[in-house]
Structure 1
Amino acid sequence: MVPLGGRMDEISDSSIPFPNRAGNLYQVRYLSFWTEDGLETAERHIGWLRELYDLAAPYVSSNPRSAYVNYRDLDIGMNDIVEGETSFEQAKVWGEKYFGNNFDRLARVKAAVDAHNFFRNEQSIVPIPRRLDFLGKQ
């Protein structure tokens, strides 16, 4: 667990991309380490983490359940970087967990500086489509 609170609560949600500070006492990291080889071992450890994640649900943030982008969680969704395009709506599922209401603003910045999504990873912010950007400004 990583303690939060104190001065972190004084920073507004929209001041920086990471909004999940005010009212949160801790960030929970779900980690497991193992030295044995094999798919069965990996599945056992990952399964245990998923069970722990589900058990923690009543005690953590919700609507949406927030996440910290530097503790990447591919279980909450991924961009389709092999086949090509991931829609803004798909990316918003995990984007809002990481960035809250800042996700739309970050997607607008992404559209301005990397409209073709050259810089991407499994959970990078996708550029907001022009049609959605136009509708959002009305």
Structure 2
Amino acid sequence: MKELENQMLAFNPYGGRMSEISKFAKPFPHRSGNIAKIQYEVNWEDLSDEAENRYLNFTRLMYDYMTPFVSKNPREAFLNYRDLDIGINSHGRNAYTEGMVYGHKYFKETNYKRLVSVKTKVDPDNFFRNEQSIPTLSS
């Protein structure tokens, strides 16, 4: 962290009562077995594209450096800290497969499938969508 400028890691502790809630009870599955959630942050004041690329790259380097110390298969992520680097969805023909890339990280496989099923029922036209939203199944 000393080598990278303006880096910050924030650890949100997990465990305790939170671990008692089943990963299938709610879309947020990252409870039991996780010590903490890590937030990666970098701040800068220079508004140039060069500075933006430089500091975002610093965050990517820190993220890569932390790989041996975090969850695996898949590396988990928290939806409220959206990260477009872990995947985006064009909402085309391959929407379900594209969504799996980030969906398994945010929700785990079983919850992702369940959320896709619900989304297909309540929003079949996929009106409510963004780069990482739950896709719908084609009819």
Cα deviation per residue 1:75-107 (whole Å; 9 max; x = unaligned)?
011122xxx525201111110100002000000
- Match in the other structure for 2:47: 37
The aligned counterpart of 1:116 is: 125
Matched-pair contact (CA < 8 Å) for 2:12–2:38: yes
| Counterpart contact for 1:104–1:128, Cα < 8 Å | no
Determine if the alignment matches structure 1 residue 87 to structure 2 residue 95: yes
Give the SS at the match of 2:53.
helix
1:60 positional shift: 0.2
Cα deviation, residue 22, structure 1: 0.6
TM-score, normalization: structure 2? 0.88
Q: Distance in 2 between matches of 1:88 and 1:102?
A: 13
- Letter matched to residue 53 of structure 2: E
Local SS of the residue matching 1:29: strand
Please state whether the residue corresponding to 2:63 is helix, strand or coil.
helix
Q: Determine which of 18, 23, 27 is the counterpart of 1:13.
A: 23
Q: Which amino acid aligns with 1:109?
A: V
Q: What 5-or-longer segments of structure 1 have no aligned partner?
A: 131-138
Aligned to 2:36: 26
After the TM superposition, which parts of structure 1 deviate over 6 Å for at least 4 consecutive aligned residues?
none
Retained in 2: the 8 A contact 1:76–1:94?
Answer: yes
Residue type of the alignment partner of 2:122: V
Letter aligned with residue 17 of structure 1: P
**Distance (Å, rounded) in 2 between the aligned partners of 1:49 and 1:91:** 23
**Cα shift at 1:129:** 3.5
Query: Given the alignment, which residue of 99, 106, 115 partners 1:106?
Result: 115
Identity %: 46
TM-score by length of 1: 0.88
Partners of 2:14 and 2:137 in 1: how far apart? 31
The answer to whether structure 1 residue 55 and structure 2 residue 52 are counterparts is: no
Q: Aligned partners of 1:128, 1:55: CA distance in 2, in Å?
A: 36
Q: Which AA in structure 2 matches 1:91?
A: G
Distance in 2, Cα, partners of 1:129 & 1:3: 39
Which of 14, 25, 43 is residue 4 of structure 1 equivalent to? 14
Q: Which has the higher strand share?
A: 2
